[in-house]
Every structure is written in structure tokens, then in C-alpha cells.
Structure 1
Amino acid sequence: MRAHPGPQRGPKASPDAPAREAQAPMGGSGRRSRRQHKLDVAIQRHQEQEAWLSTLPDAPTYRPSAEEWGDPLAYIRSIQPEASLAGIALIHAPVAPALAPGRVLADVPGFRFTTRIQALGRQRWTAWDSVRFEEGDREYTLEEFAAEAAAAEAAWYGGLAGPLPPRTAECEYWALQSSPNSGKIVEYGNDVEGTAFHPCDPLGATKWNLNVLPHEPASVLRHCHAHVPGVTSPMLYVGRLFSAFAWHVEDQHLYSINYAHAGAAKV
């Protein structure tokens, strides 16, 4: 509580004092007007993106039985005729992991990772290699990166922590990407060698463990004798609000399988 000040002596009020006092609310109203304008612009941007995003169908979703889950490649072949029409599918595992990814990675001695800087906004592509991701200048632990990501997200959404509905973030992302050189950047921990699957975990012990899947008898990757990180072995990607992963040539010619260990939805 603040003490209420008692009577104070000061200079006599000038004749134009009431006018100055009358002008103060106008300044406050102007600030409110600017804030309201920003909110109106944000709503308009959301509506513009929602207009075209709402025309896109959701990815087909599958929930295999425990028996179907036992043979990953056979199950993928069974859904291929339908899923290939969409180009993407969401598969819900019938097995829940017992260990959080943070606990698995905590057992990896000295686990730290660097990031890449992604610029948000429409970039001008003048040459094959003109748009690049810059390397970040520090290393993170998982806890450090999560704390910074949560703080940045809370600041972006006006001080509220926690993920918003995926469509809200998706509309905001595309609004930023459609703006020329928004000046905003985001860090993304990508191409991190390692795995958050534990071989003794109920999920990690299945053939869907991405360390195991490439070596299945029916996998074409068994014939690739070179070690290719991200193809013959998994890589970790530690994202945050508005970070994005580009489509690669191997995604075009092979099935790309991603497992979301934790965090907000990937859209």
C-alpha cells in the first residue's frame, strides 16, 4: 500500500492549468486508440490467414492396434493408398512412453546443442544459396532452451505462458512469413545428433524406435552402408514458437518419420 500524501504547498495554478488537465485524458485515449489499432490489425491478419488455412483438409489420422503396431513397415504399407493422397499422416502410438525425453537426455553426459537463426518474413531468393540459416553463438542445455522459449512465447502473447490453439500460432506464423523482412528471428535447435528414445522404455523398446526402424528387414535403408545422420539414424530437433523445418530432398524420395516427444503441436 502507498501512503496518501497530505496537503502540499506549491506554486499557484496558472489560468491554463484546467486546460492541461483536460488534455491528459486525450493523450490516454490516443494510446488506447493505438493499442486498439494494433489489436484490430492482428485480428485482420488472423482472419486473412484463416481464410485459406481453413480450406486445407486435416491430415488423415490413424490409431493402430497393438498387433498392427508390431510391424511398422507393414502398417505403413496398409495406410499408404489413403495417406499418400494427403502426403502426410498422423499416427497415434498405442504405447505410451514411461520416460520424459528430458530425463532420457539428462543421462547423456554433457548434452548441449547449438541453434540456427531463422529469419521470419518473406525473403528475396536471388541465387541458389542466397537464403541461409545463420549459426547461433551459444550452446544450450534442454532446460535453458525451454526456459528461453517459454519466456519468448509469453512475451509474444502479452505475458501469457502456455501454448495457444495450434491454429492461432499457425495463422500468426503465416502472417509473419508473408510480411517482407519482418525483422523478427527465432532460434531452432536442429540437426542435433542423438535420440530421446530409451531402449528399455515401453515405447523405445518397440520397432518404431527410430534407431531401430531403418534396420528392419523390409527397410530399403538396410542397403545404405554409409552412416547418414537423419536418414540411417535419427536426429533431434528442439523447436519453439514459429521455428520451422524445411522440406528436404530425402523427404521427397523417402518416407520421413517424425516422433513428437513433448511440447506443443507440430503444424
Structure 2
Amino acid sequence: MLYIIGLGLADEKDISVKGLDIVRKAERVYLEAYTAILLVDKEQLEAYYGRPVILADREMVESQSDEILKDAETKDVAFLVVGDPFSATTHTDLALRCRQNDPPIPTRTLPNASILTAVGATGLSLYNFGQTVSMVFFTDSWKPSSFYDRIAENASLGLHTLVLLDIKVKEPDLQAMARGKIIYEKPRFMTVAQCASQMLEVEDERQQGVCGKEALAVGVARLGSEDQQIVAGTLEELSTADLGRPLHSLVLCGKKMHEMEWEFVREFAVDQGTFDQVWKSVYGAQK
């Protein structure tokens, strides 16, 4: 059987008791290592689990899944996922491959906390969130802005938008590849400040008032850990905020933010005076 096991958000101890029992008995244990990362390294997981852990990068999961699924019809294989197993479509695809295998490989999923639910720690109601979007690193020649349309749809309904920020793990250096060499870039993780800056840049082009300088947002870092950080403010304020080491995410607040949400979130504000002023003149006025 293939066990797809959620690890939660922070460290080796966030795994469920059921998940830990399976990991300690499985024939092989893989750690998916590119859609998200834990805040501890592989060696710390291995020490706690008492088992060797095989890192599964994008190439292995997407192109060499047969290696992961080898003998899973008769042996137990554990596939570990940061957060919740089905928060990324990659893992849905892996489960589908198990169904399509001949003979089919039985699967079992063990859920866990993910950013999609942990973001409730900001005080923003999960009932008031719309579509989740992703923000990628801009380059000089590539600045995709399709996220803006999804945020605009959410904004038209007064809903919050969770923005998941880009990470680059084991990304090939394209210039080196052109010379016939396989060299990987240093890992990069987008910050709240980078995300806010890119949103403002796209707003300057679109001019629809979806994510302007005075739009209220909440930046989060390392949710679920002992040193988690939550900072609220305008996008302009967050464009210079420093929330420390990864992983970061950002929430753009919807205009129908309830008073209870406002009261909770304002405690995280960079400047409570500015936060209150914007909320009362724009957000509270929507009531």
C-alpha cells in the first residue's frame, strides 16, 4: 500500500501518531521536497522516525514515480508531504497513478494541518476566503499576472485571498543547461515583502484598484512553529516588512471583513492607527 502522509507545517513532531506508526514500519519512506519544506532538515526527521528518508524531488515524483511505487502492491511505502497531502495537485496525480496501475495499488491518506487552514491564526474567518492563488518570482522578461484576475473575482465578492508564495528548490540553471551542464540554483523562497511589491507592480499596470497601496493585507511566516510571525498592514507597509526565514504567505483582505476579524487582526498591525483608518474608511464602510 502507498501511504500518503501529511506532516503538518513545522517540524518532525507534527506528524500524527498513526502516521508515525506507519513510517516506522514501512519498507521505504519518501519525503516530497519541492512543493513545500519543513522547518527542520531531513536528518532531524530521520533521527525522530528512526528510519532513513529518501528525498523525492520534482523529477522523481513527476517523471520517475515508478521508483516510488515499486512493489507497493505487496509492500508498504510511505510518501511524506509537508502540510496536508492533497493541498497540491502533484499528490492527487500520484494517487491516480496508483489507481491506474495494473494491478491497482491500494492507497491510504492521512491528513494534517496545512496553510489553507492554519491561516485562520490571523483571525480572518476561513468562511470568508475565496480562491487561493499562487505568486511566482518575477523576472525581467516574465511577469505573469493571471493571479490578479482571480483576486479581482474574490474582491468582487468581498472575500479574502490567500496568496501562496513561490519556492525554488533544486531548480536547474538554464544558462548552464544551454552549455550542456547540469547545475542547480541555490534554493530561494519568496518573502511577504517581495509578494506585496509584485502585487503593487501589477496594480500599476492594471489600475483596477484590486491591490493598491492602501489595500489591507496580512503576512504570515512559519505558521505552526514556535517563532511564527503575523504582520498586518497596507500592501505598501508590507512591501518593506521583514518576517524572517521561510516559509511565508500573504492574505489580501476582502472588503467585507467583519468587525470581529478587524478587531483580531489589528493587533498584528505595523501601525494600528493607519490600519484602523483604512478599515473604517474603506472596509468598515462596506457593511
TM-score by length of 1: 0.21
Larger radius of gyration: 1
Which has the bigger relative contact order, CA under 8 A and spacing at least 6?
1
More strand by share: 2
